[in-house]
Chains A and B, each alone.
Chain A
Amino acid sequence: MKALSIRNLRKTYNNGFEALKGIDLDVEVGDFFALLGPNGAGKSTAIGIISSLVNSTAGSVSVFGYDLQHQRTLAKQCIGLVPQEVNFNQFDTVKGILLNQAGYYGTPYRQALERTEYCLKQMDLWDKRDTVSRRLSGGMKRRVMIARAMVHAPKLLILDEPTAGVDIEIRRSMWKMMQLVNQQGTTIILTTHYLEEAESLCRNIAIIDQGQIVENSAMSTLLARLHVDHFVLDLAAPLITAPFIEGYKIELVSDKVLEVSVPKENGLNNLFFQLSQQNIQVVSLKNKTNRLEQLFMDLVEAKGQTQS
């Protein structure tokens, strides 16, 4: 049984725009799965259909074996959704939001109270339980939405850009929370524009572009395809021209900064050896782009070229 199984899912909006062109997707139970794609690619439409916010045009969706069309109640019971935008009642207290949500899922009041306390503590929000939600910071509102999605103990948690617009510190604390939730057995589907986030958290990945799945594989398999890494080197002394080293593409960005493309077969040791031979001392080094970001751009651009 799959946590999520999608077959030939299509969506054409009333204005004729074809947002999904027949996608197939499987997510294993217990997975931490990334669904990536550029803006307008169809991610949110797919998530909208899975969570019943959007009516599909054709195709099927099953959640933990329950068909969304014919066993809607059972399928919905398995899903928790953290939407892109804050959508809780801004006049309710944090505790009230979670208790209401538990009630919608048929959770008896005593149990709802226990789950509310558990989820708010897990999201580090217990101290804010009686605060009216509109008074919370942006990061706290995001965490309230995660706590709300977890209050009925869903088997599948869908996170639609959960860290959008939050600072790096909160983002990293949210990553830890998400990892903990996943380790406790909840399957997670994550969409994000922070590819570093997907690379750090997710084991499997699908990339959607122009309504079609253009990549669906394990994260490690995808990253292994990357043949060239791009690095930025800070130098101890200024240079007038970029040095030439066989097998590496080197550009002088400014007098003390080099950009180097490093093919995997050549490696960094040889680069540093050659630079050292030319009396060029490197002070520090960093990745120019996130590795997944590079692949993502390659895949999306390749798809774009195929279309044109």
Chain B
Amino acid sequence: MNNLIAFRTIVIKEIFRFIRIWPQTLLPPAITTALYFLIFGKLIGGRIGTISNASYMDYIVPGVILMSVISHSYANVVSSFYSTKFQRNIEELIVAPVPNWVILGGYVTGGIVRGLLVGCVVASIAQLFDNIAVQNWWITLSIAFLTATLFALAGFINAVLAESFDDISIIPNFVLTPLSYLGGVFYSVTMLPDIWQTISMGNPILYMINAFRYGFIGVTDVDIGLAFMMTGGFITILTLFSLYLLHKGTGIKN
């Protein structure tokens, strides 16, 4: 019961935090993705034609939504937990009888909620430009949830290991964004030369975006089962690593 109250406290605190600063957290993805849909979807997309029998707009919408889920679930946890460390109010949690899994669960849940909420905002924007239909709700929602979980965990690890504000911007700028763009958001990997197709298969985000797109329009470049297994596997590994870091007190205890 105590753990449940502590968990709820962290989650509510995290949700209030990003809602309180909604012009920084919820508004920018709405504007950015509206521009994506307008420029790539409508203006350029109209000249591109179809990919796998789907209009270009239909093809890119799932990828853009999931890209937003990825970046915001990550950003929420990395900025919130690092600020907590920086201001030293992480000590409130360390001194209190809150188990490590509750701390991790609370912050990751906050990241998941923001990621999915931003995903809903972007989907709503997309609806203004196109008639979005979901073919398989179960796959769509489950892969969105798992992807948000995975990147919230990654954000948590980044925050724990970060020693400066620079450290929390390196991964999103130099790793996540390139991997997202190269993960087939705007194109099918089958359009690439063989060597780049092979290299792209090493990008885990490719699997998530394709599984998510499959949920929307039934089109994928990868095996859906493999995408779920890969996401689940990464979640397990990152969860264990996060708990190990908390147990050791890395970055938060002397």
Contact = CB atoms under 8 A, between A and B. Distances in A.
Contacts of A274: none
A87 B253 contact: no
Interface string B234-253: 00000000000000010001
Interface string B1-39: 111011011100100000000000000000000000000
B249 to A, nearest CB: 6
B91 A83 contact: yes
A263 interface: no
B13 A100 contact: yes
Contacts of A103: 5-6, 8-10
A106 B89 contact: no
Q: Which of B3, B8, B87, B96 has the most CB of A within 10 A?
A: B96
Contact of B95 (A51, A73, A90, A109): A51
Interface stretch (A52-60, A166-174, A279-287): A52-60
A55 B253 contact: yes
Given A55-B253, A76-B96, A106 B91 contact: no
A79 B95 contact: yes
Interface residues of B, number: 25
B92 A104 contact: yes
A105 B97 contact: yes
B95 A53 contact: yes
B6 A106 contact: yes
Interface in A105-148: 105-109, 148
B88 A106 contact: no
Contacts of B93: 104
A90 B2 CA distance: 26
Interface string B73-108: 000000000001001110111111111000000000
Given A103-B6, A105-B97, A108-B5, A87 B13 contact: no
A52 B92 contact: no
Contacts of B97: 72-74, 76-77, 104-106
B88 A85 contact: yes
Contacts of B10: 103-104
A238 B3 CA distance: 72
A53 B92 CA distance: 10
Interface string A20-64: 000000000000000000000000000010011111000000000
A101 B97 CA distance: 11
A55 B249 contact: yes
A91 to B, nearest CB: 8
Contacts of B254: 13, 48, 53-55
Contacts of A81: 91, 95
A101 B253 contact: no
Nearest to B21: A91
Contacts of A107: 5
Nearest to B7: A103
B225 to A, nearest CB: 40
A89 B14 CA distance: 12
A87 B89 CA distance: 5
Contact of B9 (A53, A79, A100): A100
A87 B5 CA distance: 22
Given A48-B254, A51-B95, A104 B89 contact: no
Contacts of A13: 254
A87 B9 contact: no
Interface in B208-254: 249, 253-254
A104 B253 contact: no
Contacts of B91: 53, 81, 83, 87
A105 B92 CA distance: 10
A101 B90 CA distance: 11
A72 B98 CA distance: 10
A88 interface: yes
A87 B87 contact: yes
A148 B91 CA distance: 12
Nearest to B1: A106
Contact of A104 (B87, B88, B96, B249): B96
Given A76-B95, A89-B89, 10 more contacts: A13-B254, A53-B254, A73-B97, A87-B88, A87-B91, A100-B92, A103-B8, A104-B92, A105-B6, A107-B5
17 contacts: A13-B254, A48-B254, A53-B91, A53-B94, A53-B95, A73-B97, A83-B88, A83-B91, A88-B89, A88-B92, A89-B89, A100-B92, A101-B96, A105-B97, A106-B5, A106-B6, A108-B5
Interface of B: 1-3, 5-6, 8-10, 13, 84, 87-89, 91-99, 249, 253-254
Interface of A: 13, 48, 51-55, 72-74, 76-77, 79, 81, 83, 85, 87-90, 99-101, 103-109, 148, 152
